[in-house]
Structures are given as C-alpha cells and as structure tokens.
Amino acid sequence: MDILTLNCGSSSLKYQLYDWDERQVLAKGIVERVTVGGSFIEHYARGKGTVKRERDCPNHKIALELILEMLTDPEVGAIPDLKEIKAVGHRMVHGGEKFAQSVIIDDEALKTFNALADLAPLHNPPNITGVEAAREELPDVPHCAIMDTAWHQTMPPHAFIYALPYGWYEKYGVRRYGFHGTSFLYVAKRAAVLLGKNPFDCNLILLHIGNGVSANAVRSGISVDTSMGLTPLEGLVMGTRAGDHDPAIGYYIMEKEGLAPKEVEQMLNKKSGILGITEIFTDRRDVETAADKGDERARLAIEIESYRLKKYIGSYFAALGRVDALVFTAGVGEKGAVIREKAVAGLEEMGIRIDPQRNLLSRTRNAETLISTPDSAVKIFVIPTDEELVMTEDTYALLQGTYKVHTDFTYSFQHPDYHNKERDEALAEELKEKPELAGIIAAPPS
C-alpha cells in the first residue's frame, strides 16, 4: 500500500510517498514559492536521484498537480499510475481542543478545521487549502488529518490555562495548545527505545530546533508542558518569530510607529527572532559563519537563542523533578553543535554533561547519536525526527480501524529492531567519509 503525506505551508507544499508493505520511501520533495512567483519543485525518487524543475504555481492546487505529475513521470517518477496511492495523510497544524488524535477527514471535520482557522491564521488556512486540493485531485481515496496540537492534549490545566480573564478561555478557546507534536511524539518514543525503557516510564526534555523552535516537557511518556502557546509565536527564539517577550511591546510599537495590529503581528512572526537580531540571517549556518568572521550581531543572536534554550531546560527540569534524557531534533537540533553546546553549558550540577567531541561529530540526519559524557546522569541524544512516518502510520492505522491515541497505540519505530532503510543506506555512505561517526551512534541497551 502506497500512502502519500502532504505538509502544506503558506508558500510551500512538502510531500512523501511511502510504500507501507516494503517500509520504505518511494519519493519525496517540496514545491517552493507557491503563490509568490518563481516556483520550483525539488523531487527525489528512490533509485532515480533528485531533480529540480521550475514551474509557476500560483496556488496550491497547481502545486499538487505538479507533484502528482512528478510522481508518475516515466523518467523520474516512483509509480506508474495515481491509482497506486491508497490514502493521503495531511499535516494539520492546529486541531484546537476538538481533536486529541488523528482523524479521517470528512465534510464535518473540514468544517471544524475552518472554524479553528482564527487560532492559527498563518497555518490552518494553507493546510485546509491543501486538503481541499488533494480531495479534488484524489477523490476516491481516504484523506486523514494528523494534528500538531494533538500530542499536547495531555497537558494539565495549570500548564495550559493562561493567567488571563477565564472567560477568554471559555468563549474563545484562549489557552496554550503547543505545536510540533508529531515530531515530539516520534522522538519521545525513540528516546524510550534508546534508554531501554517503557515510554511511559520516561521523563524527557525535548527540543525541536528548526526555523520554528519549541520545547516539550514529557512526564511518564506524555506531554505536560510546552513552550509554544495559543499560536506558534510564544516561547523560544526562532528563525523569524520573537518568542517570549513583554506583550506590551506590541502596543508600544503600534503607537510609536503608527502600525495596525496586523502589521505588528506580521513583524513578530516574520521579521523577528534571528532575523530581527541580525537583520540579515535566518539560517543558523549563515549566523555561525558570520559570527566566526566577527559579526557581533550574529554572535549576539547565538547567545540569545542558546540562553533562552538553557532557561527552558532548567525550568522543565524543575517541573519534572527527574529527567532521563534531553533530546535535540529538527534541522538545527540535529546539526547545530554550537547551539547544542551553549544550551547546556553550565548545567553540570543538574547532571547534564555534554561531551564536546561527540557533540562536534554529531552533524547527521542519518543516525541517532549519544553526545553526553559517560558520567552524565541525564543522557543527551540527537534524534533525527520523522514526522512523515508518524503521519503515514496514523493514516494506515485509521484505514485499518486499529488507530488509537498514542497512549494506547504502538508504532513500528518503538521496536528495538526498527530501521529506516533510506537513512541506513545514506549512513553507510556517510560512514565511508566519516568513519569516526560510528563511535557516537546510539543503540538500545543489549
């Protein structure tokens, strides 16, 4: 059974086609610059490599048509006919309190997602657009929604209720929801495997660090607190988002600059964070390079981001009381050795001890690595996330009628013998160039 997963952003459409029977990725890629001009697709098919093609995509429907065309292309495609696709899984950023788990999308569910659009105005509308386009192009297969917020529905009220007029929560759903849940679910389950423990015996601090950044406190295998809030704006420093700041600043700047609320919201979401500090960069690799060359703003951005991460690690340690492992994931978390080291520097008294050499070696998306010292009471793992696999497994289970909320469901990647074929193949090639990487690869206890 071939399952297609779609992650529809405001100006992009990411996809993956997965062969469930063979447990391997057949194709994956992304269409960039949808709706903004200069659109192009980067497409990979197993055994055929990666190609890039330019194609104007003024909307997501045309972007999806391009993806389906590439998937069936005789030269670079992965399947002979679209009939091979038996289901589609969609990433849905915000499920509000309505959805605590993945669901098959029917008209009523789509109506609910539209009603929730106000809670995630930058994310849910493009997600919904992607669903509508896919249902039109592939009308004869089931479509499923996998919510980023679902993982966090286990948070207790004292963690998700804001100290605001309670009526705002009752009337408008103003509360902490949290995001990156699909990523957190994957790395939490994998961390339990690497610790050799039942996932519901694990206390973890998870750090998803990409362009978007959030932290997650996990007690006994479930989410009990997270840094993002009503929207993905709250919390840690991000590529273009401000994260935590005095809410009065928005009103102050509106008055000083004569800006409308929507303009300030755009500034906080798209012109702040790393970009706001440096006024140039969002990619942390560019920031590190500039810092090495003496750029003081770049250095400041690194210090601010890592300091905020450290504060969240400390606060979640206090909230949990006991921590089995600290986990870094997503693009920067998986490859950003500088940010990782600075984020945990000085936490040795808490039993968090990073090995500098192991940390420097860990710059791969093809293996799970252990970067803590042997005497570290808290293990420090770098676990490449796999949101697409979670989406695929949820979709398959929904079709089979076997799907349940994660506390009563076992994923394939929870097995100690689980292997990702694509990553294993890529790792074998990577080890030829960097054999020393083998020494830091994490494995379940024997």
The DSSP string of 19-55 is ETTTTEEEEEEEEESTTTSS-EEEEEETTTEEEEEE-
Name the 3-class secondary structure at 225: strand
Pairing between β-strand 40-45 and β-strand 379-382 as defined by DSSP bridges: unpaired
- Indicate which residue of 21, 73, 107, 148 is catalytic: 148
Interior angle at CA 283, CA 282 and CA 287, nearest 5: 90
With residues binned 3-state (H G I as helix, E B as strand, rest as coil), the percentages for the chain, rounded to 5, are: 45, 20, 35
User: Are the C-beta atoms of residues 126 and 117 closer than 8 Å to each other?
Assistant: no
d(CA 395, CA 409): 13
Instruction: Report phi then psi at 146, rounded to 5.
Output: -115, 115
Is residue 220 within 8 Å of 200, Cβ to Cβ? yes
148 is catalytic: yes
- The residue with tokens 């030269």 is 75
328 close to 314: Cβ distance less than 8 angstroms: no
| One-letter amino acid for residue 371 of the chain | I
| Max Cα distance, the chain (Å) | 63
Distance CA 113, CA 127 (A): 9
Residues assigned a catalytic role:
148
